Amino acid sequence: MNLLSWLGQWAFAPTQWLVIGLAISVAYIVFGIAGFGTALVAAPILLLFMPLSKIIPLLVLLDFVAALGNLLPSRRDVSRPELLRLLPCMALGCTLGVIFLLNLKSDLLLLLMGLFISSYAIYSLLIKTRPTQLSSRWAFPMGTVGGMFGALFGSGGFLYAIYLNSRLPKDPARATQSALISCSTVVRLSLFIVAGVYAELPLLVLALCLLPAMALGLWAGRRLTMKMSREAFVRLVTWLVLASGIALIGRYLSA
């Protein structure tokens, strides 16, 4: 089979390709600004066209490329002690998340996805202050749950951010978070390869076709960071994420 034959297995109409490309671009605008959140933005839209068990591996491939691009310029600011403390916990959580993702029913995943992103959005909107200093013992629950959410829903980065921002200055926290997300994508990528998820060549071809949309989103996200505050933009996106989560829960209840 050639490239067009593999791509044709998705059977998307031209307008659907446009919507999917726009969803990916917007998701990576958010990633370019906040350093996480692609699945929170893209998954509710992509769920109209494919199951969550395909969406998460697809976004992991794109996140892998995007995270490396974010990590390289800031690698010198990475806090090695915090990174080494979180990595084993994150790997454990990723393993549990992949097991759940590949074995739970799709309708249950739909509900869990809606509840997860709605809870995250409500937390972000209501909690005005963050803990000034978390104990290092919080690395286990934050790392494990963050890894599990990352594998199951494609985004556990906000938990890493809560932990790291309470323990490190801004630049080291952001650099360490980028390093951790890069490691997380490698772990999830490896687990999906072992599980045989990427044996489906059409999924790899789809990821390849969406790379330009991802690159456009990253470029726009970095440009936006120079023109508006990161906090204002993330707050706007959080409202959109909350609307998406409520819509997913409504979709599950009406099914």
Q: What is the mean pLDDT of residues 117-133?
A: 75
Per the prediction, the chain carries an average pLDDT of 81
How sure is the predictor about 217, in pLDDT bands with cuts at 50, 70 and 90? very high
Q: Residue 15: its pLDDT value, please?
A: 93
How sure is the predictor about 16, in pLDDT bands with cuts at 50, 70 and 90? very high
Higher pLDDT, 3 or 144: 144
Q: What is the mean pLDDT of residues 72-90?
A: 82
Answer yes or no: are the C-beta atoms of 33 and 221 closer than 8 Å: yes
Residues 156-201 pLDDT 10s: 777 887 788 788 877 787 778 878 888 888 888 888 888 888 887 8
Most confident of 15-19, 143-147, 181-185, 232-236: 15-19
Q: How far apart are CA 65 and CA 188, in angstroms?
A: 13
φ, ψ dihedrals at 13, nearest 5°: -75, 160
Q: Residue 19: its pLDDT value, please?
A: 94
Q: What is the DSSP string of 26-64?
A: HHHHHHHHHS--HHHHHHHHHTTTS-HHHHHHHHHHHHH
- Alpha helices (H) in the chain, listed in sequence order: 3-8, 14-34, 38-46, 52-71, 80-103, 106-126, 139-153, 157-165, 170-194, 201-225, 230-254
Q: Residue 130: its pLDDT value, please?
A: 56
Higher pLDDT, 133 or 249: 249
What's 213's DSSP letter? H
Residues 21-52 pLDDT 10s: 999 999 999 888 777 778 878 888 898 888 87
Q: How far apart are the first and last CA of the chain?
A: 37
Angle (CA) 235 236 237, round 5°: 90
Q: Residue 6: its pLDDT value, please?
A: 55
Q: Residue 215: its pLDDT value, please?
A: 93
Q: Residue 121: its pLDDT value, please?
A: 82
